[in-house]
Chains A and B, each alone.
Chain A
Amino acid sequence: KAGVTQTPRYLIKTRGQQVTLSCSPISGHRSVSWYQQTPGQGLQFLFEYFSETQRNKGNFPGRFSGRQFSNSRSEMNVSTLELGDSALYLCASTQRGNTGELFFGEGSRLTVL
């Protein structure tokens, strides 16, 4: 069974630009969560989607948004990039009703110059 797939793995953007990251969950998993990982702030929850609906949202500005498609694939978008948005963005999926185990992808490393 394939794991969580995230694309692109690495990308470089400049301040003010926007970026879209993609996540394909494990087959059969309907919940997708996004986390931001930085050396200073650690792992922080961004949002969680289930059946194309955002069910939880972390404490991030509105520049961070996401969506989920009918096939459970998810995208997150960051607009008007700032230097502080440089981070590893991790996607995780889980089955509905699961005990809580999240399966993480390898992440998309974003560098903002």
Chain B
Amino acid sequence: QSVLTQPPSVSAAPGQKVTISCSGSSSNIGNNYVSWYQQLPGTAPTLLIYDNNKRPSGIPDRFSGSKSGTSATLGITGLQTGDEADYYCGTWDSRLNGGVFGTGTKVTVL
């Protein structure tokens, strides 16, 4: 169903770094800005990154975003137990003329 592909899960020890990939196509990531969202259990998603690499106020610089071609990446450094959550990428798809989200990635802190 999802147009954007993410790995189902990533894990690392506290203090380490993880990266989450988001793969799309020229009609979505390739020509539109990417956002990233964190969803803690039982809550609504919250915005982590917008416009590929910008952080809303209040989001620590441990979270970073980048984009290259038709893929985007979310990085989390200094991993904390509170970072255990599901992470989603999102963007606009110009061919579908609608929003699209990634399949989601569960981050586990070992």
**A and B associate:** no
> A residues engaging B (CB < 8 A)?
none
